Amino acid sequence: MNKAKGRWPKPGPDGGVEDVTLLILEWLGEQGIDAMLRIDAERMREGLPAWTFVAGGGGPLPEGLRADGASVAECMGKALCRLREAGTDVPF
């Protein structure tokens, strides 16, 4: 694991996973894991979960994974659970 670069914020009482999502994506990249977060406007119009997180492509996560949610918080919450189940312990 790389040394912390002092950029991790201290979440406040109103903060959640959506406040550190970009930092999580950056951390995954530093670990050699390709990752992205996407919003699908068509799915949003249809009332379906519009946020999608996808990760994989190497590093400690050779097989891909996907998580969908109706909000960034829901999507990233599911993504963090799946990452941990796959053996990638994200420091959040």
- The pLDDT averaged over each successive group of 10 residues in the chain (92 residues) is 50 68 94 95 96 88 91 95 92 82
In-domain check, residue 23: yes
Provide the sign of the torsion angle of the four alpha carbons 77, 79, 85, 90, taken in this order. negative
Residue 1 lies in a domain: no
- Judge contact between 50 and 41, C-beta under 8 A: yes
pLDDT number for residue 19: 86
* Domain range enclosing 65: 17-85
Question: Residue 1's pLDDT is what?
Answer: 44
Asked whether residue 52 is assigned to any structural domain, the reply reads yes
Q: Does residue 9 fall inside a structural domain?
A: no
